[in-house]
Amino acid sequence: MLRKSFLTVVVLSVLLGSFSGLVLAEEAIPTASTVIVNRQAIAFEAYNIAGSNYFKLRDIAYVLNGTEKQFEVAFDNSMNAIALSSGRPYTPTNSEMAGISTASKVAAATSSNLYLDGRLLQFTAYNIAGSNFFRLRDLGDAIGFSVAFDAELNAIIIDTSKGSPLAPTFAKYDNVGNFTQGLARVWLNSKCGFVDLDIREITPLKYDTSEYLSNGFVKVCLDGKWGILNKTGQEIVPPRYDIIFDYAEGMVRVVINEVYGFVNESGQAIVTPKYQLAFDYQEGLALIQANNRIGFIDTKGTEVITPRYRSANSFSQGLARARLEELWGYIDKTGKEVIPFKYDLNDSFSEVDSIARIWSNGKVGYINLQGVEIVPPRYDDADIFYEDMARVWLNGRIGFVDTSGQEVIPPTKYDTIFNFREGLSRVKLGDKEGLIDRAGKEVVPLKYDTVDSIKIGEGIARVWLDGKLGYVNNKGIEIVPPKYDNADIFYEGMGRIWLADKCGFVDVTGKEVVPPKYDSASNFQEGMARVTIGEHIGYIDKTGREVISPTYSSGDYFYEGLARVSLNGKWGFVDKTGREVVAPKYDDADNFSNNRARVKIGDKWGYIDTTGKELIPRG
């Protein structure tokens, strides 16, 4: 009975000519081991280099031809690489099986590229006398045959009836998620865990479900109870809570039996669940409810404001709105009532302009942090401030006040007014619309049937007139007269336009960069837009140049410089030059995030990086 142990390193080579970039010379000594393939001894030209055995790739392909692990070898000019096709018959070149070598030779390291079914393989290789030699174990792992070493016989054993016992499976999981804060969820046999960017399983796959928290934390559920993992996957809070919320100011709310407490980022219970209700920490204090009254605790769990209020909100700008019996006022962080409790209702102070709305006797006004009513309650309704301007309503009309309380645009002129964007407001009088500036000047005359609000960051709005669409900019200039059948808002300085069911693009000057000629198009993202002609999809840049001609059956936006595309039911990725970084070969794929994309083979999922390398999961 043979005692078999796995061969630590065996390598094979390729008879496809020399590769450039030889950087290291080693002595190649003819191997002394017998090679047995499917119980038959076969003489190979093989060498021992630095303690490992190396074989020619074509020799192995020739010997395995006709077995269940056969593969074809070819040279792919487009990738300047060796391409292996698993399961296909091998085509001999009359260069195989040259016989055993008896003399040592010089081996030089080579960085040759080797692909299997379009997937890049990361193998060590040497060039010996014009041929390339690779490790057998690497190929066995990739193709799926087993490699073992019999010490008694001093023999390398190749068995094509067995899969490689060390074969790495990149598509291992039943499902995988996208990366968030450097972690991704993975599922196997109805259980989930987490992997890092190296696809290292940082937690056991034992949880029923999980959700991301902020700052790299994760909450996990097991048997109906929730716990917390930190950024390294350590279980800092075992699953024991009924509910866990998200972190705020380093603290997270937890619930057991419908009572609330708090846990910090170390997993320490700062407040054992005891309150009827609790809200997130804000400005160092958290609102809590006990005995149907509201108070506040600090980050040590101390009740700095005893529960006494009927209602309250979290602190904002150093003050909290609170209700004592029927009326509302404001308290500071010591519990002092700094603005009298005299209002029917009030807002929390805005973090942008430090102003809050106040209600009294059915009217609305505004107050500042010092308690000064910059606008006494006199309007029928009022909005919060946008760009230091707020809409106010009086007797069915709308106007604007500024943050000083001045009535900049009296509520007497327009039927409808929208909030300011980039210094302009959309207004309507009768059946026509235009745009006004902060002084009330009509920058765009009220002559259009409809006007969009200015798109933030782009400075352009759509206008409609007599069923056609055009564009105006934030200077009031009509850069494109209403002439298109449809038009979209601008993205990355480009706007989609339609005419007679064809789609094109205009730029911010109104120039028709891409005439309406495509059946459809996406908005620009990362400087590229997806375009369609018939059933084929390609990509254009902002000059209108077809970087990728419409050849694919489906495609998505660019993310991290790559876009997923499909052809013949398979998915791959292209870059912005049109190069297929990953040929369409996957059954499904998702967009890149954190330089990782999830891909599917059969019913299993795994990850690839932006070079197309398949990342092997590690326990």
Angle (nearest 5°) at CA 245 between 291 and 324: 30
pLDDT at position 471 is 97
Q: What are the backbone dihedrals phi and psi of residue 154, each rounded to the nearest 5 degrees, phi first?
A: 50, 50
Q: What is the DSSP letter of 143?
A: H
pLDDT at position 8 is 28
Q: Which distant-in-sequence residues (6+ apart) come within 8 Å of 263 by Cβ? A: 228, 237, 251, 252, 254, 269, 270
pLDDT at position 433 is 96
pLDDT at position 20 is 35
Q: What are the backbone dihedrals phi and psi of residue 242, each rounded to the nearest 5 degrees, phi first?
A: -75, -35
440 has which bridge partners?
none
| Under-50 pLDDT residues of the chain | 1-23, 165-168
Q: Report helix, strand and coil shares of the chain as percent, to nearest 5.
A: 5, 55, 40
520 has which bridge partners?
532
Kind and range of the H or E run holding 396: none
d(CA 106, CA 78): 30
Evaluated on CA atoms 40, 41, 43, 49, the torsion sign reads: positive
pLDDT at position 101 is 80
At 393, list the tokens.
Answer: 């309503």
How crowded is the C-beta side of 35, counted as CA atoms within 13 Å?
24
Kind and range of the H or E run holding 64: helix 57-64
pLDDT at position 354 is 96
Distance of CA 89 to the CA centre of its chain: 41
User: Sheet of 71-76: strands edge to edge?
Assistant: 71-76, 81-86, 114-116, 119-121
pLDDT at position 78 is 67
Q: Enter the pTM of the model.
A: 0.70
Q: What are the backbone dihedrals phi and psi of residue 234, each rounded to the nearest 5 degrees, phi first?
A: -75, 135
R_g of the chain, CA atoms, integer Å: 35
Q: What are the backbone dihedrals phi and psi of residue 25, each rounded to the nearest 5 degrees, phi first?
A: -105, 135
Evaluated on CA atoms 160, 165, 170, 175, the torsion sign reads: positive
* 3-state SS assignment for residue 63: helix
pLDDT at position 111 is 67
Going from the C-alpha of 536 to that of each of 519, 549, 566, 568, 582, the distances in angstroms are: 10, 9, 10, 11, 19
pLDDT at position 167 is 41
At 453, list the tokens.
Answer: 């609000």
